[in-house]
Amino acid sequence: MTHFNRRRFLQVTAAAGALVISAPKLSFAQDMNGDDRYRNMDANLGFYLKIDADNSITIGYSAPDDGTGVSTALPMLVAEELDVDFAEVETEKLPPLYKANDGSNPRGGIDPFINQTYKGQPIHQSTGGSQSIRQSYDMLRQAGAEARALLMKAASVQLGVPMSDLTTDKGHVISGSTKLSYGSLAEKAASVTIDFEPKLKEPHEHKVIGTDQPQKVAKDVALGTQKYCMDMELPGMLNAVIARCPYIDGMVKSYDDTEALKVPGVRHIVRMHRIPQDRKEQKYIADGVAVIADNHWAALKGREALEIEWDDSMWSHADNAWIDGNFDNIVKNEKPRVRLEHGDFDKAYASADKTLEVAYEQPYWAHATMETPCGIVDVQDDKVIVIAGNQTLVRIMNDLMKVLPGYTHDQFDVTVMRVGSGFGRKFIVDAATEAAICSKAVGAPVKVIWTREDDLEQDFYNPKGRHIFRGGLDKDGKIVAANYLHCSTDNDFATHAFPAHHVPNYRGEVINSKVLPSGPWRGPTENVAGYAMQSFVDEMAHLAGQDPLQYRIDMFTETGDTPHPGFSSDFMVAERFINVLQIAAKNAGWGKELPKGHGIGIASFMTFGGYAAACVEVKVDGDGTLTIINASGAADPGIAVNPQGCRAQIESGTLDGFSAALGQEIIIEGGRVINNNFDSYIMARIDRAPHKFNAEVVRNTISPKGLGEMSLPPAIPALTNAIFDACGVRIRKLPIADQLEKAMKG
């Protein structure tokens, strides 16, 4: 051992100039010892923590970061209990920790690979569903607390004083006037044991959790040195571009690659077969033809030179108008599934004082992740090297396994990169799966990069839907009857969302008719249910002649807490909802006198157990020009681990919602998506972001949820409610596009 690299993890047995412990490894050992992959982690960061002799501290994180800031927030949890200065801490992505499924998967899955466990709990190596913080909140604090206890035990032995006489402060164990750095205790700490479960801090004792921390990657990003999957290479790597059938559920009928093979740099053509084969099942891998070349540009030119005849027969009749017409038909002719019912809607509606029947429509949205799907795979005889930028490690493993039969889990060497935005899209491991198919076919490492056209044509879209409401008011203006029929191309139903439990006679129903492939998109279901339900409540408030904010507060106050089972929550707590509504309203100046042509709107929604509200002020000119003047977002996710990161998600969720509402719409014509780049799929630039923006995260001591998704669902209806307040035009169909210009003319 002659060379010491500070980034290199050293086992305590190694005699080097610096010593490192992997304190929680003592806890992990039981699980890991049966698996050679984890016996020696010395080429990598140890589990969660590395302390060097110079007292530099590196904390690992297991979940990929797709922009929500978990690569900063997760290490903060370890740092809190370890008691170190977070500004001095370095962070590093942990290597994959997975094992073959021996049937012990608590979910009972049949997937070949599952996450490794720590004390029986799966190590969370996924980001999405706003789950990263809440699923690791206890585990990572325990890991930090154990490491601190071991360091204190080591100091206790060294100084000959009882542990109860010791304290810690910023990377040091303190005994009276003696101060020992964690680095100086690291070697001994790795050889002692503790026979108790260290007590975790109470929230009021937190020194790291709840403090504003900048993203640890901020500087790498600003310098352009941060690497993503698309930036990676393997020796001898070829580049693939794939011609995927642009027609929905279409196939290659025939193709001619003569000209493609003449393009300099093009090496191979590989026929890609649809997965699954049954075209009635949702497409995972499109039918197509891959062009594999020395570089991306040659592959692109090769693809242009391919002659392909497509079979478009499955959906050649489909366009957006056809889907709308199909909604008309199924609403008329099919019986919806009732998802939640109480009271007697029909009776109460029939006898209501005032009624409203209204439908809200929203289009398909694409994810359009900034980094298009990409994957790099080298299938060798005895191993498989994978570089991916996906949200879930285990899905990478399991999906590749399906196209690479015969390989065992210990033959996979997987690197999960920082994700160039996910929004749910990167749960799907299609690009890496395609790279595996290509690599196996040509016997070389292959990188697959999707063009933007590929991405927008072959996405797993947020479903298109129509939300039909019937509502009845009593003489006091209270909603006594509501029926919500959600007609969607593919969706679950926001069963327990406000105001389902706040209306005495309620029936919520869903009816589906699938066309395009669908997948999770920031705040699945709730992203559009929020728009529909909060528009409906707003319309009912106006019908009742009441203030839309007070109307909502009264409903929450009167009903109190309501059930909200599933997706990380049991209850919807009225007080927390009222709180975020009031914060958002106050921060945007609700109630102040507005200039002519201005309007203000409010909305709230609960997503993945977190409460969020948005309040928006707009100006609508006489010609219909819309300006978003001011916006505020408030969210209550429980304990805000990194408030600065939380506010970033409130800002992002709100503006992302505006972007979707203003311009985004997938257009299908002749059975294919035709708007396939940013000139025709319209996403907001900085000019659509209000000059005034206030994001506030509630501070409390309630067990944390997440914040990646919850700010989007209320943002859209807050905007459309504000438009109504400004000019009397109710946006009942997204995108807003040029509706206001047309309405103001007519």
- According to CB under 8 A, which one of 125, 127, 659, 664 is a site residue for other proteins? 659
What is the phi/psi pair of residue 703, to 5°?
A: -45, 130
Position 691 contacts other proteins (CB under 8 A): yes
Closest C-alpha to 539, from 354, 712, 363, 324: 354
Q: What secondary structure letter does DSSP report for 283?
A: P
Site for other proteins (CB under 8 A): how many residues? Answer: 63
Position 1 contacts other proteins (CB under 8 A): no
- According to CB under 8 A, which one of 513, 644, 700, 703 is a site residue for other proteins? 644
Q: How far is the CB of 711 from other proteins (least distance, A)?
A: 11
Position 283 contacts other proteins (CB under 8 A): no
Q: How far is the CB of 576 from other proteins (least distance, A)?
A: 24
Q: Which of residues 198-257 bind other proteins (CB under 8 A)?
A: 214-215, 217-228, 230-231, 239
Cβ contact 123:95 at 8 Å = no
Closest C-alpha to 436, from 378, 363, 490, 515: 378
What is the phi/psi pair of residue 705, to 5°?
A: -110, -145
Nearer CB in complex with other proteins: 22/369: 369
- Which residue matches tokens 């170190």? 84
Position 69 contacts other proteins (CB under 8 A): yes
Q: How far is the CB of 320 from other proteins (least distance, A)?
A: 22
- According to CB under 8 A, which one of 5, 405, 685, 746 is a site residue for other proteins? 685
Q: How far is the CB of 657 from other proteins (least distance, A)?
A: 9
- Residue 374 CA to residue 557 CA, distance in Å, equals 49
Closest C-alpha to 637, from 67, 132, 80, 83: 132
What is the phi/psi pair of residue 642, to 5°?
A: -125, 95
Nearer CB in complex with other proteins: 409/452: 452
Position 706 contacts other proteins (CB under 8 A): no
Nearer CB in complex with other proteins: 534/632: 632
**DSSP string spanning 471-497?**
EEE-TTS-EEEEEEEEEESS----TT-
Percentages of the chain per state (helix, strand, coil), in multiples of 5? 35, 25, 40
- Residue 367 CA to residue 683 CA, distance in Å, equals 11
- According to CB under 8 A, which one of 298, 348, 441, 532 is a site residue for other proteins? 298
Interface characters, 403-442, with other proteins (x: CB under 8 A): ---------------xxxxxx-------------------
Position 178 contacts other proteins (CB under 8 A): no
Q: How far is the CB of 488 from other proteins (least distance, A)?
A: 24
Position 314 contacts other proteins (CB under 8 A): no
- Residue 153 CA to residue 736 CA, distance in Å, equals 63
- Residue 611 CA to residue 721 CA, distance in Å, equals 19
- According to CB under 8 A, which one of 372, 390, 433, 483 is a site residue for other proteins? 372
CA dihedral of residues 43, 47, 51, 57 (deg, nearest 10) = 100
- Residue 142 CA to residue 82 CA, distance in Å, equals 9
- According to CB under 8 A, which one of 170, 452, 586, 733 is a site residue for other proteins? 452
Q: How far is the CB of 418 from other proteins (least distance, A)?
A: 7
- According to CB under 8 A, which one of 368, 396, 437, 662 is a site residue for other proteins? 368
Nearer CB in complex with other proteins: 213/483: 213
Q: Write the CB contacts of 592 (distance below 8 Å, at least 6 apart in sequence).
A: none
- Residue 467 CA to residue 515 CA, distance in Å, equals 17
Nearer CB in complex with other proteins: 92/547: 92
Of the listed pieces 353-361, 570-578, 684-692, 738-746, which binds other proteins according to CB under 8 A? 684-692
Nearer CB in complex with other proteins: 448/500: 448
Nearer CB in complex with other proteins: 178/295: 295
Q: Write the CB contacts of 16 (distance below 8 Å, at least 6 apart in sequence).
A: 1, 4, 10
- Which residue matches tokens 């899955």? 109
Position 15 contacts other proteins (CB under 8 A): no
Q: How far is the CB of 280 from other proteins (least distance, A)?
A: 32
Closest C-alpha to 449, from 325, 268, 292, 575: 292
Nearer CB in complex with other proteins: 336/643: 643
Q: Which of residues 469-498 bind other proteins (CB under 8 A)?
A: none
Position 656 contacts other proteins (CB under 8 A): yes
- According to CB under 8 A, which one of 170, 296, 339, 586 is a site residue for other proteins? 296
Nearer CB in complex with other proteins: 308/648: 648
Nearer CB in complex with other proteins: 175/215: 215
- Residue 411 CA to residue 381 CA, distance in Å, equals 10
Q: How far is the CB of 3 from other proteins (least distance, A)?
A: 23
Closest C-alpha to 310, from 269, 260, 255: 255
- According to CB under 8 A, which one of 320, 651, 663, 700 is a site residue for other proteins? 651
Look at phi and psi of residue 587 and say left if phi exceeds 0, alpha if psi is from -120 to 50, else beta.
alpha
Of the listed pieces 150-158, 178-186, 292-300, 337-345, which binds other proteins according to CB under 8 A? 292-300
Helix axes 643-663, 526-543, angle to 10 degrees: 80
Nearer CB in complex with other proteins: 227/732: 227
Q: What secondary structure letter does DSSP report for 463?
A: P
Whether residue 504 is preceded by a cis peptide bond, meaning omega within 30 degrees of 0, is no
Q: How far is the CB of 1 from other proteins (least distance, A)?
A: 29
Of the listed pieces 116-124, 173-181, 433-441, 449-457, which binds other proteins according to CB under 8 A? 449-457
Q: How far is the CB of 255 from other proteins (least distance, A)?
A: 23
Helices within 83-131 (DSSP H only): none
- According to CB under 8 A, which one of 84, 695, 734, 736 is a site residue for other proteins? 695
Position 6 contacts other proteins (CB under 8 A): no
- According to CB under 8 A, which one of 5, 103, 686, 746 is a site residue for other proteins? 686
Cβ contact 605:497 at 8 Å = yes
Position 457 contacts other proteins (CB under 8 A): no
Nearer CB in complex with other proteins: 573/718: 718
Position 625 contacts other proteins (CB under 8 A): no
Cβ contact 504:483 at 8 Å = no
Instruction: Work out the angle at residue 178's Cα, subtended by the Cα atoms of residues 174 and 180, and round it to the nearest 5 degrees.
Output: 65
Nearer CB in complex with other proteins: 152/615: 615
| H, E, C per residue of 202-259 | CHHHCCCCCCCCCCCCHHHHHHCCCCEHHHCCCCCCEEEEEEECCECCCEEEEEECHH
Q: How far is the CB of 68 from other proteins (least distance, A)?
A: 7
Cβ contact 240:448 at 8 Å = yes
Q: How far is the CB of 265 from other proteins (least distance, A)?
A: 8
- Residue 289 CA to residue 533 CA, distance in Å, equals 44
Position 70 contacts other proteins (CB under 8 A): no
Interface characters, 598-617, with other proteins (x: CB under 8 A): --------------------
357 in helix, strand or coil?
strand
Q: How far is the CB of 411 from other proteins (least distance, A)?
A: 28
Q: How far is the CB of 367 from other proteins (least distance, A)?
A: 8
State which amino acid sits at residue 532.
Answer: A
Contact residues: other proteins, CB under 8 A: 65-69, 214-215, 217-228, 230-231, 239, 264, 295-298, 301, 368-372, 418-423, 449, 451-453, 644, 648, 651-652, 655-656, 658-659, 677-679, 683-687, 689, 691, 693, 695
